[in-house]
Amino acid sequence: MPKAPHGPFRPGDRVQLTDPKGRVNTVTLQAGKLYHSHKGSIPHDEIIGSPEGSVYRSSGGTEYLAFRPLLADYALRMPRGAAVVYPKDAAQIVTMADIFPGARVVEAGAGSGALTCWLLRAVGEHGMVSSYERREDFAETARGNVETYFGGPHPAWRLTIGSLEDSLDDAEIDRVVLDMLAPWECVDAIAKALIPGGLVCAYVATTTQLSRVVETLREHGAFAEPYAFETLLRSWHVEGLAVRPDHRMIGHTGFLVTARRLADGVRPPARRRRPAKGAHPDPAQTEHAQAEPAETDAAQTGTAQVTPLD
C-alpha cells in the first residue's frame, strides 16, 4: 500500500514554499532545477536532503518555509474536472459516515478524486473503495489525482466508469457516499447492497436536493430517520490582545444527509415529532385554493350572482 512520505525531502516530492505573507507555492523537486519567483530563486538541490520545516533564503533575500502538502492542501490545489469536496466536508463525511479501517465503501461519483483520497486513507490496506463516475473525463482526472497523491495505483481502489445503479446487484457494502446530482435515484440500489446497520451519506448543494433526498429515504422504508446538517468554518485572527474572527469564512459548500439501513423486513417506527404547519400540502386547502380562481373569474366577467340589499 502507498505510504505517506516522511523523512528528508527527496527528488519527486511535492513541496510547499510559504513566504512571509503566507503565500504558498507548490513545486516538485528535481535535481539541478531552480524555484523562481519575483523574490529570487532557490536551488532544488538546497532543499533535497533537508528535513521538513526548514527555512530557505532566496537569492533576493526572502525566506521561505518548506513543508510537504497535507491532503487538505493537495485537495484544494489538485487539477479539477468536477468541483472538489472541501476538507471541512470530507472530514464530516469520514466522521459522520463512520468510515473505518477495513470498510467496504461505495462512492458515486468520483468527481476530481479529492474525497476518494480521504476515503482510501480511512479504510486502510484491508478496506475497499469502489468509485463510480458516469463521465469518462472526470474519471480520468480523478484517477490522475489519486495516483499522484499516493504515488501510484492504490490497491484498495476500484474505479468504474458507469452508473452505480447498474453494478450493485450482489454487493455487500458497509457504507455508501453519494456525491451526485440526483442521489435519490440510487436509493433502491443502495438499500439492496447495504448490510443491516450500514450507512448512506449524501452530499448535495441545494435545499431542493436536500429535501428530496431526505423525503425519499423516509418514504423508502428501509432506512432509519435521516439526519441532515451542514458545517461552517471560520478562522480567527490572533495577534496579542487583538483576537477576532476573520472577515472571511468558508460558509455553505454543501449539505450532508446520513441514514442507517434497517434489518430486512423491519419498518421504521412512526415519527413522533409533529411536522411544522404547512410543511406538507393540505388536500382540503389545495381544493379550496383551486376553486377560488373560478369564483374570482366569474366576478370579473359579471356573471357572479349578486344579492340585492333590502
The count of other CB atoms within 10 Å of the CB of residue 182 is: 12
Residue recorded with cell 468527481: 111
Edge-to-edge strand list for the sheet holding 104-108: 157-161, 128-133, 104-108, 173-178, 194-204, 255-260, 227-229
Q: Rounded to whole angstroms, how far apart are CA atoms 216 and 197?
A: 18
Residue recorded with cell 435515484: 185
Phi, psi of 68 (to 5 degrees): -70, 145
Edge-to-edge strand list for the sheet holding 63-67: 24-28, 14-18, 63-67, 54-57
The count of other CB atoms within 10 Å of the CB of residue 272 is: 5
For residue 158, give the amino acid letter: R
- Find out whether 287 is annotated in a ligand binding site: no
- Find out whether 50 is annotated in a ligand binding site: no
- Find out whether 181 is annotated in a ligand binding site: no
- Find out whether 136 is annotated in a ligand binding site: no
Which bin fits 277, alpha (ψ -120 to 50), beta or left (φ > 0)?
beta
| Residue 159 DSSP code | E
- Find out whether 112 is annotated in a ligand binding site: yes
- Find out whether 34 is annotated in a ligand binding site: no
Q: Rounded to whole angstroms, how far apart are CA atoms 280 and 151?
A: 52
Longest dimension (CA), the chain: 106
Closest to 107 measured CA to CA, from 30, 228, 200, 185: 200
Residues 118/105, Cβ–Cβ less than 8 Å = no
Residue ranges at the known binding site: 112-115, 133, 179
Residue ranges at the known binding site for S-adenosyl-L-methionine: 112-115, 133, 179
